[in-house]
Amino acid sequence: MALLEAGHRQAEVARRVGAHPTSVKRWWEAYQKSGEGGLAAKPVPGRPSKLTARQKTLLTQRLLKGAKANGFSTDLWTCPRIATMIQQRYGVRYHIDHIPRLMASLGFSPQKLETQSVERNEERIARWVTKDWRRIKKRRRT
């Protein structure tokens, strides 16, 4: 705005600040109409949430209790399970592709399960590392 007030042309100001001339024109008009407040960011709120703040709090508590505590056979939360639970408990339908965004807004992050073989035997692994691995491992030549 200082450049424009100093008498510089809008096209020159746009080039100097790296903006499009129509943006500079829009900023100048907003500044003239409302002063500094006209230049303040005006975030678009978007569509209102289907769940109320209270329902989101309750949902977070339910998620933290685990899937088994909410009637599922395992303790693994999946997007379809979360969507089903939300619909059953709160009567609100969410598409499963929207669930990750909802979870992120609640402070959750996606996690991957560490899968382990059912046949895994920790004692045998430890024994192999202490005995066989030392014998098999290549040694540096001296």
Chain segment 106-120, per-residue pLDDT in tens: 999 888 777 778 888
Which band of pLDDT confidence, cut at 50, 70 and 90, is reported for residue 141?
confident
The DSSP line for the chain is: -HHHHTT--HHHHHHHHT--HHHHHHHHHHHHHHGGGGGS------SPPSS-HHHHHHHHHHHHH-SGGGT-SSS---HHHHHHHHHHHH-----TTTHHHHHHHTT----------TT--HHHHHHHIIIIIHHHS-----
Residue 124 forms part of a structural domain: no
Which band of pLDDT confidence, cut at 50, 70 and 90, is reported for residue 78?
very high
pLDDT of residue 44: 79
Residues 58 and 95 in one domain: yes
Q: What is the pTM of this model?
A: 0.53
Residue 127 forms part of a structural domain: no
Chain segment 54-73, per-residue pLDDT in tens: 999 999 999 999 999 999 99
| Domain extent for 101 | 53-105
Report the domain count for the chain. 2
Residue 140 forms part of a structural domain: no
